[in-house]
Structure 1
Amino acid sequence: MSDKPMRGRAWPRVLLIVLLALAGALAYGWNDFNRFSSTPLNVTAQGDSIDVGRGSSFRNIVGELRQRNLSNANPLYWRLLAEQMRVAGKLHAGEYALGVGITPRQLLANMATGKVLQRNFTIVDGWTFGELRQALARAEKLNHDSAGLDDATIMQKLGVAGEVPEGRFLPETYAYVKGDSDLDILKRAHGAMVKTLAALWSTRAADLPLGTPYDALILASIVEKETGRPDERAQIAGVFVRRLQNHMLLQTDPSVIYGMGANYAGNIRKSDLTTDTPYNTYTRAGLPPTPIALPGKPALEAALHPAAGNALYFVARGDGGHVFAGTLEEHNRNVDCYQRKHCQ
């Protein structure tokens, strides 16, 4: 008997088996692809990132992820995911955060929308411009275009040639991305100070002994250096405003210290108070010629809205606060008590 009929009946079974195997393979592949697209990359530490250079190919990007062991998936899966998301050929150059838990789908979405990694640079209230420059020099992923430039050249590049930089930059936190310049941050901080000072000057208290917004900036810088306590700023400002109104010397140590420059070794001596400099407010009347630091907005507000009262003196208590006095006699008693520890 011929076996042809048997063979004829076997083909459908073979075809069915092949189709089932193919369907199983496709289902497995589809499930594996979905698992890949939603499974976090092998990121083990916060702060990691990937830098996509201009002209980088998709193959290069995936190759770097695999080389750094961030992904061991088949490159075909990456290509299929990009096609599915319709972002192939639309990825932006830049630095992208690789946070713990980020998935391939999230990473491609960030690259497609240009959601580059942002860093923050904080200008601290009370820094000098020199300290600001030092901090900028240490900032990561920032182009240090100001390196080697003197202060005057920096101000020229910011479009404000002739301005003294001290006090001109508002202490705040400024976001930046890789490739930004330190001059960009300085320009933004300068503009923020101009805007803030103008707004506060327009609402200043009446009858202040301050002729210009720059005078307010100078006074605010002194307030900033005299106290870090929010509850004392307006009181400190009030003392200096009344001393200016009464044509008294300001006698503020932070200004003397600023004028000493590199000669200040951490201690202010009696001889320092009698050595004349443009910033020695024990030997020269009125405000110093420039700010002595970068005042924050609270110090600016205090300088333009000083507290009322009759205090003309203050002395440090030793706990971060101050004791205020309206007469020299009372002040001397406070100095004996809190500085010399001879309390009666």
Structure 2
Amino acid sequence: MKSYKLVDLNFSIDNQLNISSIDNELNTYLKAKNDTDEIIFKIVDSIPERNSQYTKVSNMYVAKDSLYISNFPFEIKIENKSGIWTVWVALKKNLNQLEKVYQLAYFNKFLHPTYKSTDETYGADFMYKIFLPLIQLKLVEHGSSFVHSSAISLDDKAILFTSWGGIGKTTTLLKLLLTHKDIKFLSDDMAVLGSDGKVYLSAKYLHIYPYNWMGFSKLEEIAYSKRGPIDKLNWKFWGVFRGKAVCRRMPPSELFPDQIADSSMLDKIFFLRRRNVKSITSRKPDNTADIIKTMSYIVFSEYKFFHNEMLLAVSAGCEIFPGSEDFIKNVEKNLTKQISGKDLEIVDIPYKATPDDLYRFMSSRLLS
């Protein structure tokens, strides 16, 4: 059993199956001792059997204080006792058999456009489908929240680049960090905004695509040039057949090991959006509340896989989770408290502007 802490939320992982990628994904979280865990994750061979008191809804069996979810590739049980959640996670049996068939690790990785082993696939799926959505629900109870943002620390002050996906946040983040050693990493796409107004390290693996390093030799050297021959062959092979599906997940410690901050007080937020404009411009918002509301909805949409189950569970009488309207309102309330009075700018970006264009603009705004 390993215990961790994020802001003031304590949680633990009992990784009975020894899935190394889960431990690797969580290594950057602060270790905790002698605190009451509010979420206990148990990675097990099989989840506890259910009795007859459950209502079947879609892929779930639902009761007031517990539910069972069949969510590929996992079977999950969540139980609430006095506000403490125990989450059992088991691999579906058919996938255990597949794992035995493909014992040749390189062959198994080669079959995947992102060059992930079975173990790494389980780790990534656990993070995105189970861990992060549940952690977000508990963070919101504490007055904190994830924000769909890249985040950096400059002069011990946190700066958020927040937006929908695909606008260029990651490329901008990578270029700022790899060309300016005085900038430190806080988050790639899900920043943690604490109830105390600080942005905390969220060292989730970064997704690196070929377009991220186009014309950027330093990133290409780190992300591609030093990879092994089978890894490179996989990249070339799947690049022909799957194009943009080809990527690599890399920990921040591998990309910028000496530029990682634990936390910094929030100082500035850039809200990025594509608009029908001729050049990149920035301005103060007409209504800060509208931007915060948009940010709240974006966070909710990022966990759509889990929130579908959450909404169905609530509809069947499960009291573990809040309803969607209450949840979004609570996120909005938390963000309002943490962002109000901070320096917030809207950055309008032409439809056809490249990530490099955005990087140059943000670099001039931050480092001039």
The structure in which a higher percent of residues are helix is 1
Query: TM > 0.5 between the two?
Result: no
Q: TM-score, normalised by structure 2?
A: 0.22
Structure having the higher Rg = 1
Higher relative contact order (CA 8 A, sep 6+): 2
Is the strand fraction higher in 1 or 2?
A: 2
| TM-score, normalization by structure 1 | 0.23
